[in-house]
Amino acid sequence: MSAALQQTIYETLSQLVLIDPHTHINPHSPASKTLADILGYHYYTELAHSAGMSREHIEQPGIDPKEKVRRLAEGLGHIDNTAQLSWLLELAQELFGFEAERVDSSNWEAMYDAALSKMLQPDWEDQVLRKTGLESVFLTNDFDDPLEGFDTQRYVPCLRTDELVFHFAKPTVRNRLQKCSNTQIHALSDLRRAIKQRFAHFKSRGVRACAISLPPNFSPTQISDAVAEQALNRILASNEQVDADSRAVLGYWVFWELAGNCAESKLPFDLMIGVNRAVYPGGVFQGQDLYDSRVSLIQYRDLFNAFPQVTFPISVLASVTNQELVSYAWIFPNVVTNGHWWYSNTPSFVHRDLQARLEAIPRNKQIGYYSDMYKLEFALPKFNMFKRCLSKVLAQHFVIDSRWSETRAIELGRQVLRGNVETIFGFR
């Protein structure tokens, strides 16, 4: 009974039209042009590399898309057990009509051609969104993004702030901020004004969230203006040669300032907690980051207390942090759970983490899923994976174990998939 029930729930949930609350889509080129855009996703290049293919072979400058796909296809046999590869097969089947159990040297070209014939169609972007059941897609915008030339109803701006917090000592970052905000930064008050100006710009273009990814050792506290001013002065004098302490101090000040602007602008502040960048510098592009799972939300205690009026949708990189997330969201009104991020985005972690959330956190505080995609084609298989996990928990835990009606379970699924995205990000 459980399998059939799960399937019914899955099919019902599949009819929903969704908003994807976190992606890396380029709104000027949202869909793939060739299969190389799909296979070039770091999930495939890093796994092919990890399984034995050299970075030089994968990333050789100047190779054309078809050659890139040919090369990567050689390495896919070693990763055909992975959830990541199952995304490729599912999207190929659902979007290109290309059905196969595996991709290898015998069929990569057929797949390439099938993909290309679809991608060349002028309405490909619309087709993908329609088939996937997506009406809006959040972006990840640099602070100096002009946010022009695209439909901000479909592609919703989100202000990404990692550079301001972690790389302000780089002259290039500073210069970009000065330029886009039309503000010379000589003192802390200038920096404060520049940040404020950026929020105003983003608000004028329909921004729905501010976001940042944070390393495991990040432990923000409020820094006084006087202390921050000194740190700023040292940074302006020494740039990247400045001491680590000054960078950290100013980073915390900027972070706090961002939270304050979120309060004023009534924006949720997405925190993506736990990533260490460039742990493996010899890895492929975007395949170099890892983490230290020894992180605790206790590090954010001051923040959650200081900004009760800001909603913090939180993603954690390691599943071990999920129970803390559940507990903090159970107590703090302004902490909500946000999807299943990166290394925790495979079925067994999703299933486990999701069940722990659904059984203990208020239902209006859970954002089910986001795709984190770079190209539109990936929302379909990723959301489907999540919907399967969700259907399993709804069928087993709610309908069978807790005797809920199917209708009631589906309503919970709907809220987690769509309703909470609307309420938390202010769509209604």
Tell which positions 22-61 bind a copy of itself, by CB under 8 A. 46-47, 49-52
Beta strands in 181-281 (DSSP E): 209-214, 269-273, 275-276
For a copy of itself, the binding residues in 83-122 under the rule CB under 8 A are 83-84, 86, 101
If binding is defined by CB under 8 A, does position 148 make contact with a copy of itself? Answer: no
153 touches a copy of itself (CB under 8 A): no
Residue closer to a copy of itself (CB basis): 34 or 344: 344
Minimum distance of a copy of itself from residue 19's CB (angstroms): 21
185 or 273: CB nearest a copy of itself: 273
Question: What residues from 379 to 418 belong to the interface with a copy of itself (CB under 8 A)?
Answer: 388, 397-398, 400-402, 408, 412
Please report the DSSP string for 44-73 in residue order. HHHHHHHTT--HHHHS-TT--HHHHHHHHH
319 binds a copy of itself (CB under 8 A): yes
List 239, 298, 309, 422, residue binding a copy of itself (CB under 8 A)? 298
Kindly state the smallest distance separating residue 363's Cβ from a copy of itself, in Å: 5
Q: Mark the segment that binds a copy of itself (CB under 8 A) among 22-30, 66-74, 200-208, 290-298.
A: 290-298
Rule CB under 8 A: choose which of 110, 296, 309, 422 binds a copy of itself: 296
Q: What φ, ψ does residue 91 adopt, rounded to 5°?
A: -70, -35
Q: For a copy of itself, how many residues bind (rule: CB under 8 A)? A: 75
Among 33, 66, 78, 414, binds a copy of itself (CB under 8 A): 78
Q: Tokens 């507990």 belong to which residue?
A: 327
Is-contact 419 21, C-beta < 8 A? no
The long-range contacts involving 221-230, CB below 8 angstroms and separated by at least 24 positions, are 221/252, 221/302, 222/252, 222/256, 222/302, 222/306, 223/249, 223/250, 223/252, 223/253, 223/256, 225/188, 225/253, 227/253, 228/188, 228/253, 229/187, 229/188
330 binds a copy of itself (CB under 8 A): yes
| Phi, psi for residue 244 in degrees, rounded to 5 | -60, -35
Nearer to a copy of itself, 101 or 148 (CB): 101
Q: Does 272 bind a copy of itself (CB under 8 A)?
A: no
- Closer Cβ to a copy of itself, 189 or 296, answer by number: 296
The structure tokens listed for 349 are 């972690």
CB 173, min distance to a copy of itself, A: 26
SS3 142: coil
Q: Is 327 one of the binding residues for a copy of itself (CB under 8 A)?
A: yes
> Which residues, including other chains, have CB under 8 Å from residue 299's CB and lie 6 or more apart?
218, 219, 220
**Is residue 320 close enough to count as binding a copy of itself by CB under 8 A?**
yes
Residue 269 beta carbon to a copy of itself: minimum distance, rounded to whole angstroms: 18
Answer for which of 122, 182, 331, 428 binds a copy of itself (CB under 8 A) is 331
Beta carbons within 8 Å of 205's beta carbon, 6+ residues apart:
147, 148, 152, 157
Question: Per the structure block, which two tokens stand in for 224?
Answer: 């006084």
Shortest distance in whole angstroms from residue 330 CB to a copy of itself: 6
Please choose, from the candidates 326, 320, 307, the residue with its C-alpha nearest in 3D space to the C-alpha of residue 265.
307
Which among 131, 130, 137, 41 is positioned nearest to 87, based on CA atoms? 41
Beta bridge partners of 312: 335
Q: What residues between 342 and 381 interact with a copy of itself by CB under 8 A?
A: 343-344, 346-349, 352, 355-356, 358-365
CA–CA distance, 185 with 190 (Å, rounded to integer): 5
